[in-house]
């Protein structure tokens, strides 16, 4: 089981209502915004939903901070901050696979925001509808600088290198094998715990990430609410020139502060960033025959207005036992009314014998035929079907979305693609030996 390298105190419980203070008494008692707050703090509400959403969907947190967020400098455009954070413009039904981001491409100190690369987007953040897929690569920490996203939530999947997310609400350790979700509007900066880091990001403009419904599985299984961890209040009182980067309508902007924005001394509410250890996921699977649909491995989902149709699902393929009888056990050949973007955190994915490497990714667009490569098909079709445990040294994931992803120029650059990807299916042979003349 993966464990964070740090001993940062954390709060437990998905979507719980928390109250946490870095100084006892920082949160006013009995009301949210008194005439004067304790210790001369400012009261500020951060809303993650409209005021009139149903109670179970209503998200907001009260912050008690040294300086209010409203005090900042003029906002200016900052496209140079992340040159490859762009909107997608190209549609292709081709099956694609990308090489991992190359650290040697970093010819200068590059922090988490500067190293962002967009693979593709769909929809419009200005109408709060859609999804985007990004990568990140970094070789230095963010100093006196932070970021927040007006467009949506970010689900961050580290592939290599530990991170510490320093957010307005507190600190979160983040290692490969864990994920983090930073909701819309929350400021954070990224400190590297190792010399370099890279990983994946799924952004949703629509709604928020939430736990999937369990249906007939019952009340247990998949990701348990108690295993989601949230920050405790932590603040710094620091007067310094500080830069804030804001993503708004798909573009980057910048403004300045004369102090650190990480000055929240206490907070209470249900709108906060969180982390989750993927090794704690409790998978369910077939125990008799056939390969189940990958939706059984959904960790988090962002729902659409159509029941059962997700804007995007975050799915993992964790270590598990395979016991099916007379069954082709790897993922089956498939054409899907969803778009599948797959990444590999470590090890080897069971449907691809070679070519799909940690840090790489693949995209199978809507209704594009895909499935096991020829080598995997041959092996799995003839292997003795004893109970076996797979994936102990592997962890793959999928962003599965109901949207057609428009790809960026960077994503279609042959220098970043595995141009031989589709060759993995070409050795598949005709196996049926039918004499059509004898068929009635």
Catalytic residues: 291
370 marked ligand binding residue:
yes
Residue 273 makes CB contacts below 8 A (sequence gap 6+) with 165, 167, 169, 172, 180, 181, 182, 183, 186, 188, 230, 231
Please give the Cα distance from 278 to 297 (Å, whole number).
11
268 marked ligand binding residue:
no
Query: Which of the 8 DSSP states describes residue 432?
Result: -
Structure tokens at 355: 């070519």
Closest CA to 349 of 401, 294, 296, 302: 294
334 marked ligand binding residue:
yes
Strand order in the sheet with 153-160: 10-12, 228-231, 274-277, 178-182, 153-160, 197-204, 129-138, 116-124, 406-407
Strand order in the sheet with 251-257: 76-77, 251-257, 242-248, 145-149, 188-192, 163-167, 170-174
Structure tokens at 282: 């409790």
168 marked ligand binding residue:
no
Residue 287 makes CB contacts below 8 A (sequence gap 6+) with 323, 324
Please give the Cα distance from 51 to 49 (Å, whole number).
6
Phi, psi of 3, deg, nearest 5? -130, 140
Binding-site residue numbers for homogentisate are: 349, 370
Binding site per annotation, positions for Fe cation:
334, 340, 370
């Amino acid at each position: 089981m993966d464990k964070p390298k740090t001993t940062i105190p954390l709060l437990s419980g998905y979507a719980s209502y928390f109250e946490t203070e870095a100084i006892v008494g920082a949160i006013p008692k009995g009301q949210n915004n008194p005439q004067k707050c304790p210790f001369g703090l400012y009261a500020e509400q951060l809303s993650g939903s409209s005021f009139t959403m149903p109670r179970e969907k209503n998200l907001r947190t009260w912050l008690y901070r040294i300086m209010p967020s409203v005090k900042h400098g003029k906002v200016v455009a900052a496209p140079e901050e992340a040159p490859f954070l762009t909107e997608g413009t190209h549609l292709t039904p081709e099956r694609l696979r990308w090489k991992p981001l190359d650290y040697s491409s970093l010819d200068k100190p590059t922090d988490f925001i500067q190293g962002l690369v967009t693979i593709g987007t769909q929809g419009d953040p200005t109408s709060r509808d859609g999804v985007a897929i990004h990568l990140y690569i970094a070789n230095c920490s963010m100093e006196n600088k932070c970021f927040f996203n007006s467009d949506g939530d970010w689900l961050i999947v580290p592939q290599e290198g530990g991170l510490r997310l320093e957010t307005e609400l507190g600190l979160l350790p983040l290692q490969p094998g864990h994920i983090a979700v930073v909701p819309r509007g929350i400021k954070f900066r990224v400190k590297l715990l190792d010399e370099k880091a890279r990983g994946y990001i799924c952004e949703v403009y629509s709604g928020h990430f939430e736990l999937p419904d369990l249906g007939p599985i019952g009340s247990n299984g998949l990701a348990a609410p108690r295993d989601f961890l949230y920050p405790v209040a932590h603040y710094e009182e620091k007067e310094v020139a500080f830069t804030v980067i804001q993503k708004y309508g798909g573009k980057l902007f910048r403004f300045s502060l004369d102090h650190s924005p990480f000055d929240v001394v206490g907070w209470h509410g249900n709108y906060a960033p969180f982390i989750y250890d993927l090794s704690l996921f409790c998978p369910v699977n077939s125990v008799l025959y056939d390969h189940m649909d990958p939706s059984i491995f959904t960790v988090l989902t962002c729902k659409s207005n159509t029941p059962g149709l997700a804007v995007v699902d975050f799915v993992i393929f964790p270590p598990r036992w395979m016991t099916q009888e007379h069954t082709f056990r790897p993922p089956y050949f498939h054409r899907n009314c969803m778009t599948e973007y797959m990444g590999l955190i470590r090890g080897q994915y069971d449907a691809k014998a070679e070519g799909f490497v940690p840090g790489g990714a693949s995209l199978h667009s809507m209704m594009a035929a895909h499935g096991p490569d020829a080598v995997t098909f041959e092996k799995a079709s003839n292997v003795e079907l004893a109970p076996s445990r797979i994936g102990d040294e592997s962890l793959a994931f999928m962003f599965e979305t109901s949207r057609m992803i428009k790809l960026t120029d960077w994503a279609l650059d042959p220098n970043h693609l595995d141009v031989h990807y589709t060759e993995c299916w070409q050795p598949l042979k005709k196996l049926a030996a039918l004499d059509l003349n004898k068929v009635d």
